[in-house]
Amino acid sequence: MLNALYSAKHGRVIGWRFKTFIEVAHRVEPAHRRYLHYFRRALAAYDRADQLRAEDKSGKWALKVKHYKAQMQINDPAYTPDTSDMKLVVLLFPEIFV
């Protein structure tokens, strides 16, 4: 989770051996779906949507976004947020909760 959030904050890969930021997004969904709500907040707070769209040459990320938004709408349990680390996230990334 921290790797994903710091990567979103800085717009580059932090903590993983990926080459591009879009790879971080592809890792979060599906491997870390329970933290997707934090990642989405970070993408918005740090204005990374355009960066992801630019790096999404294959269109696979756009398809994932469409899919996960639909799943969240129907309250798919796979996307239930894990809030056990909420205090840490608020401490380290308060700007994503503004």
Residue 85's alpha-carbon distances to 6, 61, 79, in angstroms, are 15, 26, 16
- pLDDT number for residue 94: 96
Mean per-residue pLDDT over the chain, rounded: 95
* Mean pLDDT of the 15-43 span: 95
Mean pLDDT of 47-64: 95
Tell me the DSSP string of 45-79.
HTT-HHHHHHH-SSSHHHHHHHHHHHHHHTT-GGG
pLDDT band, residue 88 (cuts 50/70/90): very high
pLDDT at 98: 86
35-45 pLDDT tens trace: 999 999 999 99
Predicted TM-score of the model (pTM): 0.90
Question: Residue 58's pLDDT band (boundaries 50, 70, 90)?
Answer: very high
